[in-house]
Structure 1
Amino acid sequence: MTRTVPRLIVFDLDFTLWDCGGTWCDCLTPPFRQSDARLLDCGDRHIRLYDDVLWILDHCDQHSITMAVASRTEQPPWARELIGLLGITERFAHAEIYPSSKLKHFASLSQQSGVAYDEMLFFDDEMRNIREVSSLGVTSVFVETGMSRKLFEHGMARFAQP
């Protein structure tokens, strides 16, 4: 059987889906606030989705591809709050957000979703996570400078390769 589209696409958060003023979300200073259509922390660090992220999420929704997030953050409540404030909570069927190995995140995602590792596509900005998750049989793509449409399309093409 030829696989063309992943059954589950998993995204990391920091430096993958969003930029938090050049740091990780667990290094921010809550409370978070909206100011002139910008999401800021108390230190005025701007939290924003990378430019193509909404296009990517829309594409997945339009093609009925289930999405999840997996983040090793030390501040899960902050990450969940930011997902909500950025208006993308409902996009993700599953969220594994807690400090642990991505192997634990993916074991839980596979169990919850019923999706085998070889039917998943994963995007992350940390090479150690890419190596770990790839060892499970997940098609894993290194995100060097935030998610872009070009990188997403590259990942989809890699997944479809026999």
Structure 2
Amino acid sequence: SILPKLIVLDLDNTLWTPELYQIRKPNCPKANKEIRLFPGSISILQHMADHREEWQSTQLAIASRTNKAHWARQLLEDFEINGRPIRSLFPYIEIRTGSKKNHFANLRDATGIEYRDMLFFDDDANLNLEEISHLGIMCSHCPRGLTSALFVATLQKYESLKAQHERNFMGYILSAVSLGLEEAQEVDEGRVTTGTIKFFNPTKRFGFVKEDNE
């Protein structure tokens, strides 16, 4: 399995919802009350935290343009996975206003990882993903937040392109449409059910699907 060396996540409307600028109050919003992690974010971070040996060659980073940096940093401490702040899963954090090209330049300098070995998830295709893809970074568009299905399909696409040539140009913007994502469907005794991928094991190439009606 060929995994990115660095997976970078946006915050607002990617990792959590709503966006911080939408909160009209003077104090930091409460985690799990006023701000919530997307279900896909929880599943993905939980899986990576529980299977660190399978992800030992992959690091996580944050790249956010929010002007509420102090709130964002506090929320990263307040949200928890396995009783630990999710901040502990992200050794590299870039939260500042301005072009995300600066965020990624800093990440490259801090990690020593080339752009072609990075993968970026963001909800803003018109600005953020457009300019970051020009750096040669594979990007994945998640307009309604990060989902397990999109995460899995993006990793599979990354692997297939890398397998063709390790130094292949990777500056593509992927989406649910371009990846051909559809809800998983199966017929069981005349019953049609839909579901979502809970997580995917990239090494053993299997995952779990949760039925939507569970």
Equivalent residue letter for 2:141: F
Could you state the TM-score of these two structures normalised by the residue count of structure 2? 0.65
Equivalent pair of 2:62/2:93 in contact (CA under 8 Å): yes
Distance 1:126 1:159 in 2: 20
Q: Higher relative contact order at CA 8 Å, sep ≥6: structure 1 or structure 2?
A: 1
Matched, 1:25 2:28: no
Matched, 1:79 2:75: no
Aligned to 1:101: 99
Structure 1 residues 33 and 116: CA distance shift in structure 2, 3 A:
closer
Encode CA deviations 1:70-104: one digit per residue, 9 max, x unaligned: 00011111111111111311110100001011100
Equivalent residue letter for 2:98: S
1:47-126 equivalent positions in 2, closer than 5 A: 47-61=35-49, 62=51, 63-64=55-56, 65-87=58-80, 88-126=86-124
Equivalent residue letter for 1:78: W
Measure how far apart 1:132 and its partner are.
0.8
Distance 2:32 2:74 in 1: 11
User: Hey, which bits of structure 1, 4+ residues long, moved more than 4 A?
Assistant: none
Equivalent residue letter for 1:25: L
Could you state the TM-score of these two structures normalised by the residue count of structure 1? 0.85
Distance 1:8 1:93 in 2: 11
Secondary structure of the 2:39 match is: coil
RMSD over aligned CA atoms reads: 1.7
Matched, 1:149 2:148: yes
Aligned-residue identity in percent: 35
In structure 1, runs of 5+ residues without a counterpart are 41-45
Equivalent residue letter for 2:134: S
Aligned residues: 149
Q: Which has the larger radius of gyration?
A: 2
Equivalent pair of 2:123/2:142 in contact (CA under 8 Å): yes
Aligned to 1:43: none
In structure 2, runs of 5+ residues without a counterpart are 81-85, 162-214
